[in-house]
Structure formats: structure tokens, C-alpha cells
Chain A
Amino acid sequence: MASEDRDKSELSVSRRAFLKGGAIATGALSAALIPAVGEAQLPDAVEPDPRHSNVALNVNGVAYRKDIPNHTTLLQFLREDLKLTGTKMGCDRLQCGACTVILNGRNVYSCTTLAVEVTGGEVLTVEGLAADDKLHPIQQAFIEHSGFQCGFCTPGQMMSTKVFLDRTPNPTEDQARLALSGNMCRCAAYKKILESVMAASRLMRA
């Protein structure tokens, strides 16, 4: 599509053109859905739009660059633009922690982090936790100790666990409870989660 010529991202679908606003740009996205309609009407060049930004993020070791609307959250960028759906939306209000990812070594709620404000950053999601085909010790521990039930909060729980154990290799159980208190588990598998975190710390020290 012509409107995507300037979009040097690794992604095939751009929301930028559509979200510029206006009927012509909307036609561009329609064209993506229903091929060959409206394409010829698109202008070859588009003025820079202050409502969009070019964002560069390293996610799980892969560099991405993309024009996105300024209001795109990191969670939306991961799930919708990069199709990394392991990170979950539980509340969209920084109240539950299902969307937790690691940004520059810190665990953050991606639902209330704008992608533009963290451009240049390094992001680790659950998809990047395992190295090649080898599970991370945290994943091994959560499997071995059944640190989940429905699993919806689990990616967030594990990302908070990683930041915690990277900083606190030999933790107490109370420290672990505090460190994971920003990650709600509605199944309330808290006992098995705590056991998993402590087991992970042993595996990581070994």
C-alpha cells in the first residue's frame, strides 16, 4: 500500500495511515481488508502527523521500529502490533498486573505505559523468557510447583518474579510476597506461586 511506503517497520500492517484521520486514510485500511478498493486514490506522500511518533523498541532481543499513534500503550504495541499475545490485559487500569513486562530491567504495567515514552528501551515479555528451546528456571519452577491455575496472570507473575530474583537472589518468603503483591491472581494460587518463586530462586542460584 502506498501509504505504507514510508513505514520502515518490520510489520506488515500499519495502523498509522488509518489513524491519521479523515476519509482517505480510512480508505487505506479498508483496502487492507478488502483488496483493491480505494488504493489508487491514495496520495503518494503524507505530511508528518504530530499525533504519531516513530517508536524504536527492542523486544525480546529483536529491534522494531514503527510509526504509531501517540496514545498506543506498550501493551497494545506488544499484543496488536507485534502479535505477542502472551502478555495479558486484565484491567487496563494498573490494578491487576496481568500486563506486567520487563522494561530496561524494571517490571512495569504495560497497560498504562505509552510506547512513545519508552522508545529506545529494551523490553522482555514472557515470549522472551525461555532461551531458544530451554525454559527459564522461573518457568521450570512454575511448572514443577503448579504456580498457577487458569494461567492468565502467570506471564505477569513470572516477569515480576524475574526482576525480583535478579535483584534478590536469596530472598525470604516475605520479600517474595511483597515483590509479587502487584500481580493479582484471581484463582488465588498464591501458595503455589510463592513456592514456585522460592524454588526458582534455588534453581537460579544453582
Chain B
Amino acid sequence: MAQQNTIAGGPLNVVGKRGPNIDAVERVTGRAKYTGDIDLPGMLVARVLRSTRPHANITGIDTSKAEAVPGVRAVITYKDAPKVMIFGSRQYALNDRVRFQGEAVAALAAVDAETADKAMKLIAVQYEPLPFVLDPEEALKPGAPQLFQDGNLEGQPRTLTRGDVEQGLRESDKVIERVYHCPTMWSGGMEPRACVAQWDGDHLTLWASTQAPFRVHGSLTAMFNVPDANVRVISSYVGGGFGTKSAPHTDEALAAMLARKARLPVKLQYTREEEILDSNTRFETRIYVRVGVKNDMTLHAMDVKAYINQGAYHTRLGGLGTQSTHMYKSPNLRTVQYRVHTNVPNTGPTRGVGDPQETFAIESAMDEAAIEMGWDPMEFRLKNIKRNGDPIARGASGTEDGRLVAQVLDKCIQEGASRIQWNRRNAVAGSPTGPMARGIGIACTERGGGAGLAGASVKVNLDGSAHVFFASTDIGQGSRTTLAMIASEVLGIPLSMFRTTAGDTEVAPYDGGSYGNRTLQGTGRAVEVAARACLQQILAAAGPVLNNAAPADLEIRDSVIRVTADPSRQVKLAEVMQRRGRSVSGDGATAALQTGIDVERTSGAHFVEVEVDKETGKVHILKYISAHDVGRPINVTIVENQIEGGTIQGLALTQGEEMRFDERTGSCLTGSFVDLKPPTALDFDPRVIEAVIVPNEGTTGPFGGKGLGENPCHPGMAAVANAIYNAIGVRLREVPFTRAKILRALNEPRPGASRTV
């Protein structure tokens, strides 16, 4: 595929440059229409009545008074809901049993918000309370409240083994055993969930703030039992997703049901409180890790047991990432994941599936093992990371029948270490005296990208302008821009001549959506294929104008087609198109990007220097190096923006965003930004974050590009925990690292400070 990374072997003209987003004007003028901005004639306002109980049967529900309110056009309860579950979930849009506080119980649509709010108060619900459970390990104990007939465990525990982990631990010279905990955490975007539903006969158009229009499409066609052609899902501008909008959700179904019953368009917009309570947020994990090492600095055994608190319903979405299985060579490995249903709200994969939680556990444990042995934690990692040619599993799990290629994690580590000046760290952890202590930490990460089915199409118009259509989405990662850049590079048409249509299931081929590092690498590859199909047609049409030159002898640049061997023979693209008299279209699709045994991954290494105020527990970030493999960057500005923003999102998990639940009532206690404390411009000085793009070229993505979005969010918790340890000799194994936790730990009597080398 290497010959495809340049046009006819020439230099790249568009790819690899800096530059603004092609939709920037729309975004800075307020013209970009997000779902909540859509206004249709006669559109009704929807409201959702939510359960006040964490677990209950609904024994009665009286909507008659609400229905009698003038201006109310539709009220729905479980009696109206199709008995078809939301895709990827055990949840019905509405049911006669609720399993978390905040779950939808009824919904209504009225002519305006005041009427809807007034009518909502008139719906009477009778609950038969059931015992509830919030903790995933408690939920697996005998006698625990049961959410489902087949118990609280979702499927069989996900297990991956190689070698013999117990034997490996026995053979190890040192074994450390630790537990790391991440609570349920809020991970939503600035735009609360929103959708607008409109039926025309039995044809539904649904505008939704989703990352995955075709997943929503599949969920709705199944629910309403209509052909694929009868549902159109549009997700044009999305105000952030981070995974919470990557799965179909109840709101889309409720809006569609209300619109059908009312025979009018319906808008359902969540309040911030609803968004916090009822989106698919970052799941709680409690991860038990045993690491066995040999005296020669090799990792010999790793045993990982994880309890994942999936919340009430999701079935396929919980789970760790690949940090324990794909990053290090360990001859003996076992990971067991218990995906457990409890009465906390639905959770899901958020910026890195479960990778940040897993990275926190694995990269803390690696640090602890190195320090116990007196090794340099960075050298320990360099000694044990998988390198090119090493065996690796081809999927997220399974046997290691693949071979790692295009990996530069070693270079990420070396580049980061050089920039942070790794040798400045404290030789003895916690040795700084005085109230302010500085320390340096490291954490690595890796992930795949571009998985699943992707599609796109490209059209070149009669005047030589062009259009890219795709049904994954631009959720802020800049895919409108990067995908158009790929087509621009292939077609030799300037970027300024491109328009894009994002997230529309009716005009673009099937694509799984934007999640899991997949848009650039997967949809981008499909765009490249589609653009090449257009290019062939254009060059074929140009031949007759250029003395019947063969397409292989032609090249196109700046919308001018030339004979490569004699550039003076040329014709403008617009002229060729007008002679042709028909626009040119091309479709592209990719299924499995990786074939054969080659396995391409995307890696990164983070280094952070902190200063801990021992009197207040405040942690200051002094310097943060985020060194990432992105393959070949398509747009350098966008890559930097992704790394910088993702890094701060990872840091955010160290200071707040914990969702707390009342153990007596099951209620969420953190329903606002004041409780969750997502970072502002003052919480972390963005100037100390340095995004480093480590030179590389991938083997499967367009022009060697790799997926990136998830990775920068993975290492923050572990890197900061490791740096805090280096500064004050205190090991934090529970996020967030609140000042109270740090002060408490500092005041605990502990054996003499551990040594690092």
C-alpha cells in the first residue's frame, strides 16, 4: 500500500499540513445548526418523567389528568412502547420496571415547554420498590438484589489467558498485588442530548446529537419494524460526544414514539441534570492486579481481575480496553472481566472505552513493581513493551497469532523522557523537604483504530467543485476537514472547492459511526477509495482532450490535468467535467482494515511533572508531555488540538467528575457542573501541555494516518499518580485524587519512603 501514500509517487500537497477547519466559519458565526437549533413548523416540546426510585415495579400509572391539559398532544408510557430493546442494551424505551433512579417512566409532548412541564406534574406513578444494589462486587454476592432473571452478571466473564499465570507468578522473583478503583464518572459533552423526530406517513426523519447515526438508524428500524429506507437519521453538528453518544439511546425512541402518536414533529432536549443522569457515562471499575517480575527486569506474569459496573442495562458496551493484553510482553497473562449490572445509570465506552481506567491500573502497577525492585520505571517499560515483529492478538482478545507492525511506542517514550528531562525526577520518592514537593511520572498507552465497517462517497460536480458524503460524524474531532483533505489530496482539487455532508444515513453509505479511533482511519480509508474511483473517471474523460493520453500517463493538481511527461499538454478539470456533461461519483467502503497477520496499533507516552502542596493537598501540573504516534498526521493543527484536549480530559479525571450515589436512596448526588467540576481554563494551565507528534507512517489508514482521538485521554490518571508518588512518596490508588485524600495519605503513618532509581 506504500505506493498509495503519495499521488503517483509525488509529494503531498494537502495532507500533513496545518490549517483551519473547513467548517470553521459556520462554527464561529453561530450558523452551524446543532440538533437543538432545529425548528420545524408545529414542532412540539417533549418532556420525560423520570423514576424517583433506583429499582421498582410500576404498579400503576395514570396519565389521564396530563392528557386533559389543553395543549398536550401525546403522552406515552410502557403501554405504548414496542417490545423491542434499544440496540446494544437490555432496555426498552419504556418499561413497567425501572432499574435506576432517573430512568424514563413516561414522556409527553405539548405545544410548549410550560404546558409540558405543567402536565408532567399530573402524571401519577405508583411504584412497588425493590431492593437495589450499587456496587458491582456486592451485586455478585449471594442474596444480592437481582436486576434480571438471569442475574446481574452480563454474559460469561470476558477472559483472556496465555501461558499459565499462577505458574508464572510462582516463578517470579517478586510479585506485587494491588487494587485500583475508578468511580462512575461523568463524561458528557457541552451539548446535552437532543433529538427532533418527524414522521411523514411511515417515514421517520430523526435529527439526533449522536456519534453513530447508523446505529441509531438500526435501533429505530427494528423498533418500528420499518424498512431501512424508511428511517433517516441526521447528525450534522454535534456538541461533543466522547463516547456518551456512541450508542442508541432511549431519547431517540421516545421522540419518535411521541411524534408518531401526536402526528407532529417533536423536539426532545435534555436538561443538564437529565444528561448527567441518563447518558452513557464512564463506568466504575475496580481492578485487582498482580504483577510478577524476574530479577532481569522482565515482566513474567500479569493477572488482572476487573469488576466493571455497567449500570442498569447495557450489554455490549462495558469492558476494559487492551492495556493489559497488547502493550507489554508477558509470557503469562490472565485477564478476567466481570461486567455487572447494578442500579446505577447506564454507562458505556467513553474516550477510550475502559482504557483510561485500565491504564490507571496497569501503569500504576508497572510503576509500583519497578519501584519495589529499585528499577527505573521508564527502563522497565522500555524493556517489556511489545515492539515491531512481536506476537500480538489480532483482535481485542484471542491468541497472539498476529505480528505487531508500524509501532513506535519506544520512540514515544524516548522523546517524552528527553523533553521532560526524566533524569530530574527524585531518586528517592518523597525526598523533597519543605511544603512544596515536585515529582515526575510516566504512563504509556496503546489502542487500535479504524475497526468495523466504514463507507463514504465523493462527488465531483460539473464545475469541478466536490462533495464528500459520510455517515460517521464530526463531533469536534475535525473529520469534515480531515476527510475532505484526503479527497482533496487524491483528486488534486483544492480544499477550498470541497463541501461535506456529515452524519446523514440517507445520502451516505453505511458507516458504523465516530467512536473508538475509527473515523480517520476507517471512514478516511473509505473516502480515499471513493476519491480514487472519481479520479479514474476524471482521467478517463480527460484522455480524449489530451490526444487520447492514457489515464496512467495523466496527473491532476490544482484542478488542472496534465500529461505527466509533457506538462504543457493540460486541460482544466472544469472543462473536462463540462465536456463530460455528468457529475462523477465514487463510493468507497472498508471492512476489515487489517488482513493477514500484521497488526497495527496506535501508542503514546505521557510524562508529567507535578508540584504537590503538602499543606493543602493541591496538585499543580508544572509540565506535561504528551508524545503520540498518529501515523502520518493529516492535519497537524487538528492533531495537536486532539492531543491537548484529550490530555486535559485525562487530567480532569484526577481532580473531579466523580458521580456519587446515595447508598440509602440510590439517588445521584452530583447532578450539576458544580458537583462534578469539569475543568475550566484555570484548572490546568494549557500552556504547560506539549503535544508531541512522533514521526511514523501507518500501513492501513489513508496516507498512513492512524486513529488518535481516544489515546490522549488514557494516561493522565496513572501519570499523575506516579508523579505524585515521586513527589511525596504517597501512592494513590483511587481516583479522583482529591486534596482530602492526599492530605489523609500524607498524615498516615507509613514505612520509610520507598526508593526509586
Binding site for B on A (CB under 8 A): 15, 18-19, 23, 26-27, 29-30, 33-34, 69, 79, 83-93, 95-96, 98, 125-127, 129-130, 135, 139, 142-144, 146, 148-155, 158, 173, 177-178, 180-194
Residue contacts A-B, CB under 8 angstroms, 29 given: A18-B111, A19-B114, A84-B30, A85-B33, A86-B29, A87-B30, A91-B272, A92-B271, A95-B272, A95-B673, A126-B28, A129-B29, A139-B28, A146-B21, A146-B24, A146-B641, A149-B641, A150-B237, A151-B26, A158-B28, A177-B681, A178-B682, A184-B680, A186-B242, A188-B652, A189-B641, A190-B681, A193-B681, A193-B686
Are B645 and A143 within 8 A (Cβ)? no
Q: Return the CB mask of B172-198 against A: 1 if under 8 Å, else 0.
A: 000000000000000011111000000
Are B673 and A15 within 8 A (Cβ)? no
Cross-chain contact of B272 among A19, A23, A92, A142 (Cβ < 8 A):
A92
Q: Which residue of A lies closest to B713 (CB)?
A: A188
Cross-chain contact of A152 among B70, B239, B646 (Cβ < 8 A):
B239
- For residue B679, CB closer than 8 A to chain A, the reply is yes
Assess A191 versus B686: contact at CB under 8 Å? Given A91-B673, A149-B240, A186-B189.
yes
Are B191 and A90 within 8 A (Cβ)? yes
Count, A-B residue pairs, CB within 8 A:
196
Are B644 and A90 within 8 A (Cβ)? no
Q: Which residue of A lies closest to B644 (CB)?
A: A191
Are B679 and A188 within 8 A (Cβ)? yes
User: Please, how many angstroms separate the alpha-carbon atoms of A132 and B57 in the complex?
Assistant: 59
Are A155 and B30 within 8 A (Cβ)? yes
User: Please, how many angstroms separate the alpha-carbon atoms of A155 and B477 in the complex?
Assistant: 18
Smallest distance from the beta carbon of B269 to chain A beta carbons, Å?
8
Are B686 and A184 within 8 A (Cβ)? no
Q: Which residue of B lies closest to A84 (CB)?
A: B30
Are B190 and A152 within 8 A (Cβ)? yes
Which stretch (B34-42, B308-316, B317-325, B608-616) binds chain A?
A: B34-42
- For residue B1, CB closer than 8 A to chain A, the reply is no
Q: Return the CB mask of B657-683 against A: 1 if under 8 Å, else 0.
A: 000000000000000111000111110
Are B644 and A189 within 8 A (Cβ)? yes
User: Please, how many angstroms separate the alpha-carbon atoms of A96 and B190 in the complex?
Assistant: 8
Chain A CB within 10 Å, residue with most, of B39, B112, B239, B642: B239
Task: List 9 additional A-B contacts (Cβ < 8 Å) besides A91-B672, A178-B682, A191-B687.
Answer: A33-B264, A91-B673, A126-B29, A126-B30, A149-B476, A150-B189, A173-B687, A190-B686, A191-B689
Smallest distance from the beta carbon of B733 to chain A beta carbons, Å?
25
User: Please, how many angstroms separate the alpha-carbon atoms of A173 and B681 in the complex?
Assistant: 11
Contacts of B685 in A (CB 8 A): 177
Q: 5 closest A-B pairs (Cβ-Cβ)?
A: A86-B30, A150-B476, A152-B239, A151-B27, A149-B476
- For residue B638, CB closer than 8 A to chain A, the reply is yes
Are A148 and B27 within 8 A (Cβ)? yes
Are A192 and B71 within 8 A (Cβ)? no
Q: Which residue of B lies closest to A83 (CB)?
A: B39
Are B114 and A151 within 8 A (Cβ)? no
Smallest distance from the beta carbon of B503 to chain A beta carbons, Å?
13
The interface residues of chain A, by DSSP majority, are classed as: loop
User: Please, how many angstroms separate the alpha-carbon atoms of A178 and B681 in the complex?
Assistant: 7
Smallest distance from the beta carbon of B389 to chain A beta carbons, Å?
36
Cross-chain contact of A181 among B21, B114, B637, B681 (Cβ < 8 A):
B681
Contacts of A135 in B (CB 8 A): 25, 28-29
Smallest distance from the beta carbon of B717 to chain A beta carbons, Å?
15
- For residue B584, CB closer than 8 A to chain A, the reply is no
Smallest distance from the beta carbon of A91 to chain B beta carbons, Å?
4
Chain A CB within 10 Å, residue with most, of B30, B39, B679, B689: B30
Cross-chain contact of A96 among B478, B638, B673 (Cβ < 8 A):
B673
User: Please, how many angstroms separate the alpha-carbon atoms of A139 and B70 in the complex?
Assistant: 45
Are A26 and B115 within 8 A (Cβ)? yes
Contacts of A126 in B (CB 8 A): 28-30
Q: Which residue of A lies closest to B679 (CB)?
A: A188
- For residue B573, CB closer than 8 A to chain A, the reply is no
User: Please, how many angstroms separate the alpha-carbon atoms of A148 and B480 in the complex?
Assistant: 14
Are A192 and B644 within 8 A (Cβ)? yes
Q: Return the CB mask of B717-754 against A: 1 if under 8 Å, else 0.
A: 00000000000000000000000000000000000000
Chain A CB within 10 Å, residue with most, of B27, B32, B240: B27
User: Please, how many angstroms separate the alpha-carbon atoms of A134 and B321 in the complex?
Assistant: 48
Smallest distance from the beta carbon of A38 to chain B beta carbons, Å?
10
Cross-chain contact of B190 among A29, A130, A185 (Cβ < 8 A):
A185
- For residue B505, CB closer than 8 A to chain A, the reply is no
Contacts of B544 in A (CB 8 A): none
Cross-chain contact of A139 among B29, B39, B111 (Cβ < 8 A):
B29
Contacts of A146 in B (CB 8 A): 20-21, 24, 637-638, 641
User: Please, how many angstroms separate the alpha-carbon atoms of A184 and B34 in the complex?
Assistant: 18
User: Please, how many angstroms separate the alpha-carbon atoms of A91 and B271 in the complex?
Assistant: 7
Are B28 and A154 within 8 A (Cβ)? yes
Are B190 and A153 within 8 A (Cβ)? yes
